[in-house]
């Protein structure tokens, strides 16, 4: 079993002069293990995506206090690629397009980066696995042969991110609004891919605004973020309560003086 723990995490935006800027995360605490699916919900501007970027080590954000631990060891000094090799994966809301690099080349390189030089994945084993995972996502060989995300629709990009997840098999996947812009059919396919990974060796932190995704990927725990902090945690029923009553109702229930905003 592996663990991912966020301890009293404070994060600010890095300004042009590389000094501390606006504080976004104001003491986030979260611990999860492989075998678990956690969901983070909350209004816009509460720091959900900032949390995902900070965990992965995006240099646009500066950790000013606290720690991120993978299997009990701090990863704050690790660059992004080292964190990925250690078993973290981030599916972004807006995946980048990379011309000149095919999906197949990217995924095989990513798999081999996590393996010993003398234990690189054989071509036939890779292609057999690729065919299996594409089948789960109703993807064609043609998509894998295209340049990474280039010319892909929003739905194709999301499927492609999940295909990478299935191929790389990280310890923990952070899925940042993978349901954004998906119609119901695409949402079902993407959810099927994530659910196929569920097991003792995999955990996922899902960031979403909407209950509808959690109808298909049922989380073990739901956390609500407001004003840069996790203010409430519970089971799947918490997401349904938010869907019915909204964040303003929860804010009032908790007695929080938090302005709901669309910024950041």
Q: Distance (Å, rounded) from C-alpha 47 to C-alpha 230?
A: 10
Asked whether the predicted pLDDT for residue 245 surpasses 90, the reply is: no
**Residue 66 belongs to a domain:** yes
Query: What pLDDT is attached to residue 262?
Result: 38
User: CA 73 to CA 70: how far, in whole Å?
Assistant: 5
Q: What is the pLDDT of residue 261?
A: 44
Regarding predicted confidence, which is higher, 67 or 178? 67
CA distance 171 to 4: 9
What is the DSSP track for the chain?
--EEEEEEEEEEEEPTTSSEEEEEEEEEEEEEETT-EEEEE--TTSSHHHHHHHHHT-TTEEEEEEEEEETTEE-TTS-HHHHHHHTEEEE-SSPPPEEEEEHHHHHHHHHHHTS-GGGPPPHHHHHHHHHHHHHHTT--HHHHHSEETTT--HHHHHHHHHHHHHHH--SEEEEESTTTT--HHHHHHHHHHHHTT-BTTBEEEEE-S-HHHHTTS--SEEEEEETTEEEEEE-HHHHHHHHHHHHHHHHHHHT---------
191 domain residue, yes or no: yes
User: 155 lies in a domain?
Assistant: no
Q: What value does the mean pLDDT take over residues 97-104?
A: 84
The answer to whether residue 264 is domain-embedded is no
pLDDT of residue 180 exceeding 90: no
Residue 225 lies in a domain: yes
Q: How far apart are CA 29 and CA 111, in angstroms?
A: 31
Q: Which of 25-39, 42-56, 65-79 has the lowest mean pLDDT?
A: 42-56
Q: Tell me the average pLDDT across 75-86.
A: 95
Q: Is residue 115 domain-resident?
A: no
Which has more pLDDT, 131 or 152? 131
Q: Are strands 37-41 and 203-207 parallel, antiparallel or unpaired?
A: parallel
CA 174 to chain centre: 2
Residue 39's closest CA among 165, 170, 177?
177
Please name every residue paired with 67 in a beta bridge, in sequence order, or none if there are none: 7
Using one digit for the tens of pLDDT, what is the confidence trace for 6-42?
Answer: 999 999 988 755 545 789 999 999 999 999 999 999 9
Per-residue model confidence (pLDDT) at position 20: 54
Give dist(CA 111, CA 168) in Å, integer: 5
The domain of 196 spans 3-99+171-254
| Sign of the dihedral defined by the CA atoms of residues 125, 102, 80, 223, in that order | negative
Evaluate whether residue 177 is within a structural domain. Answer: yes
**Given this model, what pLDDT does residue 255 score?**
64
Q: How much is the pLDDT for 54?
A: 95
Give the mean model confidence (pLDDT) for residues 67-74.
97
- In the chain, the number of structural domains is 1
Model confidence band, residue 216 (pLDDT cutoffs 50, 70, 90): very high
| pLDDT above 90 as % of the chain | 61
Does residue 25 fall inside a structural domain? yes
> Which tokens in the block code for residue 157?
């990009």
CATH number at residue 87: 3.40.50.300
């Amino acid at each position: 079993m592996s663990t991912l723990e966020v301890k009293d995490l404070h994060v600010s935006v890095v300004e042009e002069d590389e000094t501390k800027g606006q504080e976004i995360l104001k003491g986030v605490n979260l611990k999860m293990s492989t075998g678990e699916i956690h969901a983070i919900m909350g209004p816009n501007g509460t720091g959900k995506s900032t949390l995902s970027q900070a965990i992965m080590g995006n240099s646009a954000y500066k950790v000013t206090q606290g720690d991120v631990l993978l299997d009990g060891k701090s990863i704050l000094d690790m660059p992004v690629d080292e964190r990925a090799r250690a078993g973290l994966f981030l599916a972004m809301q807006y995946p980048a397009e990379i011309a000149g690099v095919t999906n197949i080349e990217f995924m095989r390189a990513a798999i081999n980066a996590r393996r010993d030089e003398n234990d690189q994945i054989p071509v036939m084993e890779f292609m057999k696995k690729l065919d299996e995972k594409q089948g789960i996502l109703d993807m064609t060989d043609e998509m894998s042969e295209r340049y990474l995300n280039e010319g892909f629709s929003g739905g194709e990009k999301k499927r492609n991110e999940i295909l990478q997840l299935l191929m790389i098999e990280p310890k923990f996947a952070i899925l940042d609004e993978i349901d954004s812009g998906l119609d119901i059919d695409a949402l079902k396919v993407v959810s099927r891919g994530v659910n196929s990974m569920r097991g003792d060796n995999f955990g996922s932190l899902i960031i979403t605004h909407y209950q509808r995704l959690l109808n298909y990927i049922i989380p073990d725990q739901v956390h609500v973020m407001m004003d840069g902090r996790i203010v409430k945690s519970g089971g799947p029923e918490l997401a349904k309560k938010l869907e019915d009553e909204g964040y303003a109702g929860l804010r009032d229930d908790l007695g929080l003086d938090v302005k709901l905003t669309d910024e950041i």
